[in-house]
């Protein structure tokens, strides 16, 4: 290969690597959270999907799920206790499908998905009164604004804040 061709190969390599890098940044910041895997475990859906949606395990870090599971008999003012077998199955399901990585996956020590720095950052453009709307009542009520929440669909273009 002559020098001019080497130069072309080099330029092309640098160019495509920059493109891949830029695309990586883009998907990381903008697309990564619009869709998370839905909860698929039947025991989890039955035991944890009656009072609120069966939150996708990918919304919370493994240590956070462990804390939730350890305190079920005193669960946000209610008793959500399950038998030992169900607890073991649900715990294993949640932990093996828990959030990973430095954003959603980093544990901030809280007991609520809605109190994580990740959740706050994703919702900083939501006007404060929206959370108090009687059709919302709690940030934990994802489906009030994200109709597809149970399927793990949080696409920004499908968000509807109730009026
Ligand atoms: C008897 C009703 C009930 C059952 C059953 C129940 N929960 Fe809850 N859960 C609640 C209530 C009430 C809240 C607080 C909701 C709010 O603040 O709007 C809550 C909140 C949560 C939150 C925090 C939501 C947030 O704000 O980010 C998580 C996580 C959670 N539950 C997980 C579970 C898991 C896991 C199970 C099954 C083992 C379960 N829940 C079963 C009633 C229940
Ligand atoms: C009051 C309405 C409201 C509620 C309730 C709500 N959200 Fe959102 N959410 C929004 C809005 C609006 C956005 C888009 C924010 C923006 O881009 O300005 C958003 C964005 C998101 C995103 C980011 C999507 C992306 O493409 O990066 C995720 C993930 C998300 N919400 C998850 C949740 C979860 C999980 C819950 C329940 C625990 C929840 N939200 C509850 C209104 C809400």
Instruction: Write the CA distances from 130 to 57, 122, 148, 157, 159, integer angstroms.
Output: 26, 15, 19, 17, 13
Q: What is the pLDDT of residue 132?
A: 94
Q: What is the pLDDT of residue 13?
A: 66
Closest residue (by CA) to atom 42 of ligand 2? 145
- CA separation for the pair 97, 62 (Å, rounded): 8
Beta bridge partners of 35: 153
Closest residue (by CA) to atom 2 of ligand 2? 145
SS3 for 69?
helix
- In tens, the pLDDT along 109-131 reads 999 999 999 999 999 999 999 99
For the chain, residues with pLDDT lower than 50 are 27-31
- CA separation for the pair 142, 151 (Å, rounded): 11
For 78, phi and psi rounded to 5 degrees? Answer: -140, 165
């Amino acid at each position: 290969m002559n020098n001019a061709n080497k130069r072309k190969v080099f330029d092309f390599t640098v160019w495509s690597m920059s493109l891949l890098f830029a695309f990586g940044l883009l998907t990381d910041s903008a697309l990564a959270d619009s869709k998370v895997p839905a909860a698929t475990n039947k025991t989890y859906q039955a035991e944890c999907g009656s009072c609120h949606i069966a939150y996708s395990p990918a919304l919370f870090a493994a240590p956070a799920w462990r804390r939730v599971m350890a305190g079920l008999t005193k669960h946000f003012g209610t008793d959500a206790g399950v038998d030992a077998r169900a607890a073991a199955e649900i715990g294993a399901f949640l932990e093996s499908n828990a959030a990973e990585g430095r954003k959603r996956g980093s544990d901030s020590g809280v007991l609520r998905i809605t109190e994580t720095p990740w959740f706050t950052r994703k919702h900083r453009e939501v006007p404060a009164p929206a959370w108090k709307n009687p059709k919302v009542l709690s940030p934990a009520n994802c489906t009030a604004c994200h109709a597809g929440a149970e399927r793990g669909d949080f696409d920004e273009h499908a968000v509807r804040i109730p009026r």
